[in-house]
Amino acid sequence: MAVQELGGIAEVEGWEAPVHKPWQVRLARSLANFARKKPLGFVCGFVVIFFFIVGDVVPETINKASRVAGISDRPVPYVADQLEQAFPWVYPFAQQDLRARLQGSSSKHLLGTDAIGRDIFSRLLYGARTAVMVSFGAVLISMSIGAAIGIMSGFYGGWVDKGMYRIVDVFQALPPLVVFIVILGVFGSGLWALIIVLGVIGGPIQSRLIRGQTIYVMSSPFIEAARVVGCGDRRIMMRYILPNVFHLIVLQATFSLGFLVLLEATLSFLGYGLPPPFPSWGQMLSLDGRQYMRTQPGLAIYPGVAIGILVFSFNLFGDALRDVLDPRLRGSR
Amino acid sequence: MQKYVAQRLLLAIPTLFMVTIFIFVLLRVLLPADVIDLIIGEYGRNDPTLRAALEKELGLTGHLYSQYFDWVGISWFWGGPTGLIQGDLGESLHSGRPVLGELKKRVPVSFELGIWAQFTSIGFSVPLGVIAALRQDKFADYGLRSLGIMLAAVPNFWIAVLIITFGSIWFNWAPPINFQYLTDDPVAHIKIMLLPALIIGLTPSGSLIRLVRTQMLEVLRQDYIRTAHAKGLSQNTVLYKHALRNALIPIVTVIGIGLPQIIAGTVIFEQIFIIPGMGRYLVDAVNNLDYPVIQGLTFVFAFLLLISILLVDISYAFLDPRIRFS
């Protein structure tokens, strides 16, 4: 009653409206909080960001998009190219020095050279682009598909749900590596082919958890309230369900990132990755390179270490993120 | 229970049909012309009669749906050629041999490899997970958890490459090249299969160690464990009869989830260790664009995976009554 008399504005004595700090401050606070709670995950987050930058994800995507759209603007410069100019020990990935084949580490070639005199360190650096581009791109596609299927089948239920689930079952019955080998081997491979194929084929399977969470969210009273207010299906899905399953999407994405790096490495190892001059970690370990590993064991070691570090960082970062984001675990510490 | 099994089996049939449609759309609707061109390119001359003959041989003449019916073998019922339903997977373009005959030799090899890998991953991760749970937050626990994370992060083919490289450098050892079948020479056969099976099993066991640990910890907190202790049962009885049994139930599902990983492992390791299994057949077929083989094999892979998932689910229902009655 008192509230009505005040014209609908609740003024309680001793209560102050919360002062909203600028977003920079809030971001810095939550980051500091994350770092304090999960130091290792925080460090791994930095490793991920490092590979993200070295892997030139943003320039490559923008350049590709502008090429597809036919905008012939100046291309965005690559970080790797800048590194080449700034540091004497970073070379273009295809530059051969046939006089310096299969060398060990030196000040000129940090990790030595491969069988046709290409610098291993530089190739690892450029290989990061393949690994990070493929994993991020494919995750983006597969999570969009997974979220769409999961939310729709959880929202509509009934025969929509059943129908979509038959499709998801089909994708679950197809062994991924076999399908990837068939598609990439028959259609031909490339950076964007890898991204699209891994993303699209991996998408439907991602929907399982999201569907479950959607069904759970659907039973909340605020969905009913939204209905009463007169929201349409699309608005409910986008504005009410999506934000409530989003933490799950992010978590699944971070876990699939590591998996996709391994998958890309595997496909490249078997010869279904990028075509030869372009470096990829899996390809550097591949069957052709194995004959030289006796003379230069670095060829067998470094690319595997690089894969391990990236996947390890993705996984630990995902673990830490889960502990921070999961509402059930949030209050436990 | 019988109803559950029957239901699952019935549901598998439409899924299999959808798989055939998927493969058909992928390999025939999306690219038949390219394949013919590529094969003709290998012959080195563009001959219209050859093209027509190839199209006929590949079953690329006629309507798409009749092609599909021919491949699956539905048209057999009104006098068409035999297809998947009749167990006819087609013939290889290169060798001309039926795919099914080739698979009879190859499926057991891959299957054996997969089974050994599965045993390795379970035999490796269950004891380690239990140890980690019993020494919770002690040094052994941290060590084993780190090991689990490492194993999941490192590609298994890299471990194989390292073993082969350093085995040859330090011990002058290399994996045997000539494959021996189990029936011909069991000892040589096991020597060949042992290493790949061990390494394939490592990757799934990375996450399995951590899962066994959390499951075990959760079960150890349950009331019935306290009751068992209070009854005066020995530590070992409580651990192995009461705790471990219950902790292992959810792990069955994870074995099901890990199956694609195991299949992927067999495909990779058949390449590295030159084992004549299904994976090697697939890679050879893809590289030769041996198109009927690719189709047939993809279907067989999917079929085997579906059956395995089904078995895992059914055994899970068998172990956990809550699933059966829901």
DSSP string, B50-115: HHHHHHHHHT-SS-HHHHHHHHHTSGGGGT----GGGT---B-TTT--BHHHHHHHHHHHHHHHHH
Q: What does the pLDDT read at residue A140?
A: 92
- Nearest CA to A120 among A128, A132, A110? A110
B163 at interface of A, judged by CB pairs closer than 8 A: no
Whether B23 has a pLDDT exceeding 90, the answer reads no
Which pLDDT score is estimated for B318? 78
pLDDT reported for residue B33: 52
% residues pLDDT > 90 (chain B): 0
Q: Do A315 and B155 touch (CB under 8 A)?
A: no
Q: What is the largest distance, in Å, between two alpha-carbon atoms of chain B?
A: 86
Which one of B169, B260, B297 has the shortest CB-CB distance to A176? B260
Residue B276 lies in a domain: yes
Residues B216 and B72 in one domain: no
Residue B26 has its nearest CB partner, among A166, A183, A316, at A183
Q: pLDDT tens digits, residue range B181-192?
A: 777 777 878 888
- For residue B324, tell me if it sits in a domain: no
Which CATH number does the domain housing residue B138 bear? 1.10.3720.10
Same domain for B228 and B148?
A: yes
pLDDT reading at A141 higher than 90: yes
- Co-location of B266 and B151 in the same domain: yes
Same domain, B137 and B63: no
Q: Are A181 and A211 in contact (CB under 8 A)?
A: no
Scanning every residue of chain A, which has its alpha carbon at the shortest distance from the alpha carbon of B257?
A172
Same domain, B257 and B173: yes
Q: Per the CB < 8 Å rule, is B165 touching A270?
A: no
Domain-embedded: residue B166: yes
Nearest to A177 among B19, B165, B263 (CB): B263
Question: Would you call B230 an interface residue with chain A, using a CB distance cutoff of 8 Å?
Answer: no
In a shared domain, residues B64 and B111? no
Q: Which residues of B touch A300 (CB under 8 A)?
A: 161-162, 165-166
Please give the pLDDT value at position A32. Answer: 85
Residues B39 and B170 in one domain: no
Residue B92 lies in a domain: no
Q: Is B162 on the interface with A (CB under 8 A)?
A: yes
Write out chain A residues lying below 8 Å of B268, CB-based.
177, 266, 269-270
| Domain C-terminal end among B86, B121, B145 | B86
Residue ending a domain, among B86, B108, B137, is B86
Domain-located, residue B93: no
Which ipTM score applies to this complex? 0.84
Could you tell me if B265 and B127 lie in one domain? yes
In the numeric block, which tokens belong to residue A112? 């030595």
Choose the final residue of a domain: B86, B121, B152. Answer: B86
What is the number of domains present in chain B? 2
Residue A333, pLDDT score: 37
Both B126 and B70 in one domain: the answer is no
Whether residues B236 and B314 share a domain: the answer is yes
Domain that holds residue B314: 100-319
Listed in sequence order, the residues at least 6 apart from B279 whose beta carbon sits closer than 8 Å to its beta carbon are B110, B266, B267, B268, B269, B270, B271
Residue in chain A lying closest to B295 (CA) = A182
Same domain, yes or no, for B264 and B195? yes
Please check whether residue B256 lies inside any domain of the structure: yes
Looking at residues B82-102, what average pLDDT do you find? 77
Please state, in angstroms and rounded to a whole number, the distance separating the CA atoms of residues A164 and A169: 9
Tell me whether residue B184 is in a domain.
yes
My answer on whether B160 and B213 are in the same domain is yes
A26-30: average pLDDT: 83
User: Does residue B176 lie within any of the structural domains?
Assistant: yes
* Closest residue in B to A283 (Cα–Cα): B158
Check CB contact of B305 with chain A, cutoff 8 Å. Answer: yes
